[in-house]
Amino acid sequence: MGTPPLTLTDRLEIAGARAVAALPRGAKRRIAGSPIRRDGLELDLDMQLLVKLDERELRAPLSSGTPAKAREDLRRAVRVVAGPPIELAEVREETVSGAAGPLRARLFVPGEDRDAGGGLIVYYHGGGWMIGDLDTHDHPCRLLARAAGARVLSVEYRLAPEHPFPAPVDDALAAFRDAVARARELGADPARVAVAGDSAGGHLAAVTAQQAIADGGPVPAFQLLIYPVTDLVNVAPSRLTFADGFILTKPNMDWYEEQFMGPDGDRSDPRASPLLAELHGAGAPALVVTAGFDPLRDEGEAYARKLRVAGARTILRRHAGYVHGFVHALIFGPGPREAIAEMGGVLRAALGD
């Protein structure tokens, strides 16, 4: 799709955000206001500053616009907070097989894996199954590849509402199968292919791991689930506690889910709500990452517990002071980069020889 050139307004927004993010702590506190505490947690100062800047945008609910506008708004927002991309040994455009045809993909190759034969992480971007693309998640994928010492294959699956459930789910599984089949061609070991994703992409990674086990095909070597959506039926407490004021809001979540499921989708289908699935066998080992001030926190943590009960080796990591989408906020202090480095370290150990 390609990222459109920056306008003068875009450049001013980026410069302003970077200037605020670089301020000393005392100045940041004066701008952000008094510490915010909720549910026994305190919001990280840099995350509070991010929330403050987001509030100043005075954005209308996504449902008041079109999917095309929502997609462009995300691309613009990410460019403001992501900072410059890091350099890797190679970044190249690829194509993978989806359920109904080829899908765009991007392969990120860290320097230490230039000679191939290591791990491969199939990454599904977030965005409520209806926004997001290779460009919006380019920076986190670069950081993850470098931290994990493994190749990352970011997949651009079909989006709702043009392609509602189960199209994104079917694409995710097809892309994983294709990545395993073509692992050598992609420079990786077919026995060391993991799945990963954030938010809606975390949902797709979880469901892909479940389906891969159920159909007897190749199983992911690992699953990294970053603040995943896992339950479209029940309302966990965090969905109410953090329903407004922390980047991801209830009106926007509702709109995403309505567009994804369509008027007749069965939300209790385990492909829509993996938390409701009956897990057979231990499954892929997992790292489940949540954010303390995220409406999706509780269902992500419930899914980690479910994996443990099923016998899967599972690490649950809550970043207590963070908000949903923190992997994009790379200019706001060292925290988001350190969090991605930690995820990469776990993947490095999991996909090692």
Catalytic (active site) residue 64: no
Annotation marks residue 199 as catalytic? yes
Pick the catalytic residue from 137, 139, 163, 199: 199
Which helix (H) or strand (E) segment holds residue 106: the answer is strand 102-109
- State how far the Cα of 288 lies from the Cα of 78, in Å rounded to an integer: 23
Strand blocks (E) in 205-282: 223-226
Q: Encoding tokens for residue 227?
A: 């603040």
Catalytic residue among 135, 231, 294, 298: 294
Q: How far is CA 142 from CA 3, 137, 344, 351, in A?
A: 17, 9, 11, 17
Rounded alpha-carbon distances, angstroms, from residue 41 to 48, 75, 181 = 13, 30, 45
C-alpha 6/C-alpha 10 separation (Å) is 6
Q: Catalytic site residue 324?
A: yes
> Can you read off the two tokens belonging to residue 170?
């079917």
Burial, 244: exposed, middle or buried (Cβ in 10 Å; 0-12, 13-18, 19+)?
exposed
**Is the preceding omega at residue 166 within 30 degrees of 0, hence cis?**
yes
Residues carrying an active site annotation: 199, 294, 324
